[in-house]
Amino acid sequence: MKQKLSIVKIGGYLIEEEARLSKILDLFSKIEGNKILVHGGGKKATEIGNKLGIETKMSNGRRITDIQSLDVAVMVYSGLVSKNIVAQLQAIGINALGMSGADGNTIQAYKRPVKDVDFGLVGDVKEVNAYGIFQLLQVGFTPVFCALTHDGKGQLLNTNADTIAAEVAIGLSQDFDTTLYYCFEKKGVLQDIEDEDSVITHIDSKNYDVLLAKGIIADGMLPKMHNCFYALRNNVAKVCIGDDSMLSENNSNFTTLTL
């Protein structure tokens, strides 16, 4: 029987607000068994970039990464945000290890090809070094991945944290019974975007198509759901979407996705 593995992705206000970050890291620390944390940091990168006079450029909600923007991303994601999270986890008894995809050659990517938009130094994941991550888990480390990968030729690449979480979950699903948690501001996928309590507690591939057709799943939720079903189709056992309370043992008001 496979060991259990929980992969938790956090971002947005869960990172920005100190009290909420402290709460979710405490809940994360109480998850039994093997676990991995994946975090973003885009809001903080935008804030620091503005202070440095570096403009944030976006296209259809996605960040365009030039050389200066990548410098900010490296400083913020793998520096400020990562080390703050690692230090807090160490304080509550979790032997965390802050990592980018370049560390241990754990996540290699390639620069996104130019189609309608040139996203610059943005990476799409090519390969996950599942054995290397497996070894870290086996000796008791808890990897904490930021939203950076590398191309194997010395170039760091800005990479979507939701995608990193899905790719790492897929890579490790051969060795583990893996559950992927996407933690964000909402309680889950909502039937009515205006009603915070209208959580759809279960979505499979059939009613996903219905929700798409009705426009209930739209806009910013679309890429997140794409990552969810991509993971499920590639042997990840279960994917969950909700706010930080999703990690509490006594909470069932979040969205679980299955095929």
* Binding region for substrate: 41-42, 63, 158
Closest CA to 243 of 18, 14, 7: 14
**Amino acid found at 198:** S
Is 13 within 8 Å of 20 (Cβ atoms)? yes
Q: Which two tokens stand for residue 72?
A: 């900010």
* Rounded distance between C-alpha atoms, residue 36 and residue 96, angstroms: 9
C-beta atoms surrounding 95 within 10 Å: 11
Backbone angles phi, psi at 155, to 5 degrees: -105, 125
What residue has token string 């056992």?
A: 237
* Rounded distance between C-alpha atoms, residue 103 and residue 106, angstroms: 6
Strand duo 96-99 + 238-242: pairing: unpaired
Strands (E), 40-104: 57-59, 62-64, 96-99
Tell me whether residue 83 is exposed, middle or buried, using C-beta atoms within 10 angstroms of its C-beta: 0 to 12, 13 to 18, 19 or more: middle
Q: Point out the annotated binding site.
A: 41-42, 63, 158
Closest CA to 244 of 236, 232, 235, 253: 253
